[in-house]
Structure 1
């Protein structure tokens, strides 16, 4: 049978595709420690569960396509605390940030269009863009310069008559880069001057360290027609299974088109929106301070451990909860198979996300990995220790 050439051009997620090998390793009695997926073990705020438990309607009805009123209002007030004034019409509830991206791309892209994305980048961007018939055009970055990209010299040479948007993550996944105010201003100016959409994935906004400040591209009201923000409760509240996100934009025409898709898929889940609204409405700045401090502890544990492994190179991340590292191996994907199929230390082994899948440029990232530092510091230290032992065993086997 024939399948879409667009879906056939897509790849499996480098973050999730090793699950069958993990299952096989566990069947052999090994414990697999996880550095591969952004699934925090921080407890979801009880306000989420309490709100759902207290739901007393006799019928679980469709939610309004734009979102449940209490959720949309909660999101609007959240941005108001950041100094950003929005109307309810500037917010659309979605099934997580992933659906927000899919809707945006469906509205603005067609066959042969291009989206500029600094690489390395979140691999699922590739799938969401390709199924529209468009392509990602990577903007190269490098660890030597901290994976930074927000300059005219780096962005403008890649803009063509087929470019429709620039997509960026701030704070960055997988690099942990946090853009400065000057850099975000530059990105807004480039988008305005070249009449491009600037899609800003800001799901890690609260997770900034070492004195970095919170920011949003929505601050630039002069770029209101260009800026589209993707946001979500998944990482902010450690509620990845709730699948509640938003599209936020003051571009009325875009939001009107997006509404067609929102109505076509009917609505995001009613109960999850109610639970998400409760988290937004009940949690104070102290909550964000607490989780920020916890993830900083986790980051520091990983950084300390990686520093003990000979030949590993990395930059200390400024935000989010990811880190890209270059390993002293020929191929990080081969190493991952080795770790899951052949290696163990005291009945344990480790998973990560091989780096090649975070690049569009062929051959890049082959000996890189992305680490998600989302478990407790002791487990992270052990995970990194296993990585170091596994690298030594893998290289000894190759050289032997």
Structure 2
């Protein structure tokens, strides 16, 4: 029998999706499952985006330019201008989701066995992207005791080797919800300038910041215009995860020219999704105001309920819609599976994401889970109560 590649064998499973078969079995048994495991917002997609697809006048669903349609990139540049980010359409490549933008970035700036430093815990698919690209992740651990703040810059510097090509951050963070301050971004900017590295920032949650905090983009740091690569997406901003439209943004012309070659190899991003995404840029500010108010309310509810559980430690997010909770157990993977297979309260149970998959350091995060607060408050309260009752039974078992 022909053999599977080493790369394929090393490709990690998604910690978010690997429990799906157990959830499906729970459904078959008639259980209700509260999904805290995946960042799929229940907020409605702006009607203006959906209507644009319904009323389009296309006779042929044709390719667009490999870098994305001219009109859409022009409007994206205007959107960034309104965010105090000075870019033009020529600094933007439209991609099939933020995932493809990250793959293009990795492919454009790193060779096999090169290294990228990432504060962990981090978005689980970074592990997959690095494996697919033959790149090695070098983690620097942020801690729940510090609310997952940026680790000391000296810890980054100690990890830099001749193979280090970039530092990657997610801001605000998935899975932590941490929002890096302007001062922290400036420290990273100084570091990448000093060592001539790239700074990649996954900024897909930029709109979702709370408690008066403001998002500060790496693209606002003029001193690193040749070092900065921004990743963005419409998925969370407009609750359009299924559109699969993102973009790679950089003022570095060599990066854009190289990423364009990767874009040409996959021909073009999806046409109808670009039409929807272009229309979504006309979404009024009031949409985001109400969405942010809703997420703040959900976050506060979730944190308050989790803090009622004895032995649970939780970090308070400043952005995005995730938090990490540390449970009084040894193995969150086992607990998450057990919840779906063996536990319910009046026919209801919960699906969570074990946090170990958001680390690359073995053994770290084993007793942590990521919770996405993308459900209504009433459902969040029910879900946390189920977790509370489950912990009592699980620990005895």
Structures share fold, TM-score greater than 0.5: yes
Q: Which residue of structure 1 aligns with residue 16 of structure 2?
A: 15
- Give the Cα separation in 2 of the matches to 1:170 and 1:148: 11
Q: Is the 8 A contact 2:119 2:151 kept in 1?
A: no
Q: Which residue of structure 2 aligns with residue 367 of structure 1?
A: 367
Q: Counterparts in 2 of 1:253-268, with a 5 A limit?
A: 253-268=254-269
Once the two structures are TM-superposed, the CA of residue 26 in structure 1 deviates from its matched residue by: 0.8
- Give the Cα separation in 2 of the matches to 1:107 and 1:181: 27
Aligned-partner SS, 2:133: coil
- Give the Cα separation in 2 of the matches to 1:134 and 1:205: 27
Q: Which residue of structure 2 aligns with residue 162 of structure 1?
A: 163
Q: Counterparts in 2 of 1:286-365, with a 5 A limit?
A: 286-365=286-365
Q: Which residue of structure 2 aligns with residue 195 of structure 1?
A: 196
Q: Which residue of structure 2 aligns with residue 124 of structure 1?
A: 125
Q: Is the 8 A contact 2:118 2:137 kept in 1?
A: yes
Q: Is the 8 A contact 1:151 1:186 kept in 2?
A: no
Q: Which residue of structure 1 aligns with residue 150 of structure 2?
A: 149
Q: Is the 8 A contact 2:140 2:151 kept in 1?
A: no
- Give the Cα separation in 2 of the matches to 1:244 and 1:330: 38
What count of residue pairs does the alignment treat as equivalent? Answer: 396
Q: Is the 8 A contact 1:200 1:229 kept in 2?
A: yes
Q: Which residue of structure 1 aligns with residue 391 of structure 2?
A: 391
- Give the Cα separation in 2 of the matches to 1:302 and 1:272: 33
Aligned-partner SS, 1:139: strand
- Give the Cα separation in 2 of the matches to 1:163 and 1:287: 41
Q: Is the 8 A contact 2:74 2:88 kept in 1?
A: no
Q: Is the 8 A contact 2:48 2:280 kept in 1?
A: yes
Q: Is the 8 A contact 1:150 1:184 kept in 2?
A: no
Q: Which residue of structure 1 aligns with residue 277 of structure 2?
A: 276
Once the two structures are TM-superposed, the CA of residue 396 in structure 1 deviates from its matched residue by: 1.6
Q: Which residue of structure 2 aligns with residue 136 of structure 1?
A: 137
Confirm whether residue 105 of structure 1 aligns to residue 106 of structure 2. Answer: yes
CA deviation map 1:95-122 (0-9, x unaligned)? 0000100111111222211110001111
CA deviation map 1:16-74 (0-9, x unaligned)? 00000000111111111111000010000001111111111211110111111221112
Extract unaligned runs of 5+ from structure 1.
Answer: none
- Give the Cα separation in 1 of the matches to 2:45 and 2:90: 28
Q: Which residue of structure 2 aligns with residue 181 of structure 1?
A: 182
Q: Which residue of structure 2 aligns with residue 80 of structure 1?
A: 81
Q: Is the 8 A contact 2:97 2:233 kept in 1?
A: yes
- Give the Cα separation in 2 of the matches to 1:72 and 1:3: 39
Once the two structures are TM-superposed, the CA of residue 387 in structure 1 deviates from its matched residue by: 0.9
Q: Which residue of structure 1 aligns with residue 6 of structure 2?
A: 5
Q: Which residue of structure 1 aligns with residue 245 of structure 2?
A: 244
Aligned-partner SS, 2:350: strand
Confirm whether residue 376 of structure 1 aligns to residue 376 of structure 2. Answer: yes
- Give the Cα separation in 1 of the matches to 2:65 and 2:396: 60
Extract unaligned runs of 5+ from structure 2.
Answer: none
Once the two structures are TM-superposed, the CA of residue 373 in structure 1 deviates from its matched residue by: 0.4
Once the two structures are TM-superposed, the CA of residue 285 in structure 1 deviates from its matched residue by: 2.2
- 4+ residue runs over 3 A deviation: none
Aligned-partner SS, 2:297: helix
- Give the Cα separation in 2 of the matches to 1:336 and 1:108: 37
Once the two structures are TM-superposed, the CA of residue 150 in structure 1 deviates from its matched residue by: 5.3
Once the two structures are TM-superposed, the CA of residue 288 in structure 1 deviates from its matched residue by: 1.7
Aligned-partner SS, 1:131: helix
Q: Which residue of structure 1 aligns with residue 285 of structure 2?
A: 285
Q: If the length of structure 1 is used for normalisation, what is the TM-score? A: 0.97
CA deviation map 1:233-266 (0-9, x unaligned)? 0000111001000000011001101111111101
Q: Is the 8 A contact 2:33 2:348 kept in 1?
A: yes
- Give the Cα separation in 2 of the matches to 1:184 and 1:323: 21
Q: Is the 8 A contact 2:328 2:367 kept in 1?
A: yes
Confirm whether residue 58 of structure 1 aligns to residue 52 of structure 2. Answer: no
Q: Which residue of structure 2 aligns with residue 214 of structure 1?
A: 215
Q: Is the 8 A contact 1:68 1:274 kept in 2?
A: no
CA deviation map 1:99-151 (0-9, x unaligned)? 10011111122221111000111110011011221110100111111211254
Q: Is the 8 A contact 1:309 1:388 kept in 2?
A: yes
- Give the Cα separation in 2 of the matches to 1:150 and 1:249: 25
Aligned-partner SS, 2:393: helix
Aligned-partner SS, 1:323: strand
Q: Is the 8 A contact 1:204 1:235 kept in 2?
A: yes
Once the two structures are TM-superposed, the CA of residue 320 in structure 1 deviates from its matched residue by: 0.6
